[in-house]
Amino acid sequence: MTKRILIVNVNWVGDVLFSTPFIRAVREANPGAYIACLIHPRCREVLEANPRIDELIIYDEEGIHKSLIGKWRLIRQLRSKNFNTAFLLHRSFTKALIAYLAGIGERIGYPTKSRGGILTKAAEEPFEEQHKVEYFLNIARSAGIKAEDISYEFFVRDADRKFIRELLAKDGIGDKDFVAVLCPAGNWAPKRWPREKFARLADELADRYGAKIVLSASGKDLPLVEDIKKVMAAAPVITAGRTDLLGLGALLERADLVVANDTGPMHIAVAVGAKTIALFGPTSPRITGPYGKGSYVVISGNTACEVPCYNIACADNTCMAAIRVEDVLKEAEGMLARR
């Protein structure tokens, strides 16, 4: 009988990317298995083109699955699929309970949130904080799965490459142009490098390398990139709100250089092999920084505060402001010299 595996994933784009080495390890250990992933709707596109997964099952816990009735419908859906094993990457009690009520016989994860009693195998919690890639891989290792490749993955489709090529062409960027993609957003303000520094960096890259500058962000961050554009001398291309996540992956794959805050797009850039400069302030590169193979460098400006710092109300943002444009240009020069 074909083994049927459910991976209960986490809720943020970057963290789901960190789970891809785990997914690869489970697939390699179970080449003939049917593998599904329970995923938050905002993260669906991270795994949509991943060939290691047979099915994505959406768990919309803020929407249709918020109520008890909604959760019960999800449980019935999972029960109908006859999963044998559930790997619980998410730490919540509720998700472990859903796997239990769905009749999944083997339930493996960390015994967090007092859920040890509803797991059939509890992975040992690490004594020290470690990178999230390793944190997830430890669950696989606890189940006897070898997990040696620690690089995360994001799969880009030819249709998305074609879409980006045509989108850039409409704005005057050809296949042979040098493209620098800047990602100035972040899910909370203290993680963002000051917009005036992004503007100055963009102009320096345009002057020194003849770079075509692309400002990339989600639609809700369009005002941010518009503000950056206003103080630039060069004329950037703005893709905010013009691509989905798979299109973003194709854009970052096309880039000759990516500069980004600690965000999901930064990790997508690393996953697709782009030359990436990651800017860190309040968060810890040791826990959520780029990981595995790739061409990337981390610049951290935090020298005064404890890291990670979760003071999202921080007003002075000194750790990000401490990163100089010259620091970024120096790293870019070194990376581009190796082209």
Q: Name residue, tokens 């581009």.
A: 336
Whether the CB-CB separation of 191 and 267 falls below 8 Å is answered with: no
pLDDT higher for 80 or 293?
Answer: 80
pLDDT at 339: 64
d(CA 306, CA 283) in angstroms, rounded, equals 9
- Options 3.20.20.150, 2.40.100.20, 3.40.50.300, 3.40.50.2000; CATH for 4-142 is 3.40.50.2000
Does 4-142 match 158-337 in CATH topology? yes
- Average of pLDDT values for 181-193? 88
pLDDT-based confidence at residue 226 (cuts at 50, 70, 90): very high
The dihedrals phi and psi of 141, each to the nearest 5 degrees, come to -65, -35
Which of 155, 186, 150, 149 minimizes the C-alpha distance to 253? Answer: 155
d(CA 207, CA 171) in angstroms, rounded, equals 19
Nearby residues of 206 by Cβ (< 8 Å), 6 or more positions away: 212, 213, 233, 234
pLDDT at 234: 94
pLDDT at 200: 96
Whether the CB-CB separation of 215 and 18 falls below 8 Å is answered with: no
Position 155: which residue type?
Answer: F
pTM: 0.91
Percentage of the chain beyond pLDDT 90 is 76
d(CA 40, CA 184) in angstroms, rounded, equals 24
**Each residue of 227-244: pLDDT tens digit?**
999 999 999 999 998 999
- Options 3.40.50.720, 3.30.379.10, 3.40.50.2000, 3.40.630.10; CATH for 158-337 is 3.40.50.2000
Nearby residues of 172 by Cβ (< 8 Å), 6 or more positions away: 212, 237
* Terminal Cα distance for the chain, rounded: 50
pLDDT-based confidence at residue 301 (cuts at 50, 70, 90): confident
Decide if pLDDT at 317 tops 80.
no
Whether the CB-CB separation of 30 and 63 falls below 8 Å is answered with: no
Report the SS3 class of residue 39.
Answer: strand
Q: In b/e form, how buried is each residue of 79-104, taking b as 16+ CB within 10 angstroms?
A: eeeebebbbbbbebeebbbbbbbbeb
Domain boundaries, the chain: 4-142, 158-337
**Each residue of 139-150: pLDDT tens digit?**
999 999 988 899
Whether the CB-CB separation of 312 and 190 falls below 8 Å is answered with: yes
Helices (H), 48-191: 68-80, 93-101, 132-142, 158-170
Phi-psi region of 7 (alpha: psi -120 to 50; beta: other; left: phi over 0): beta
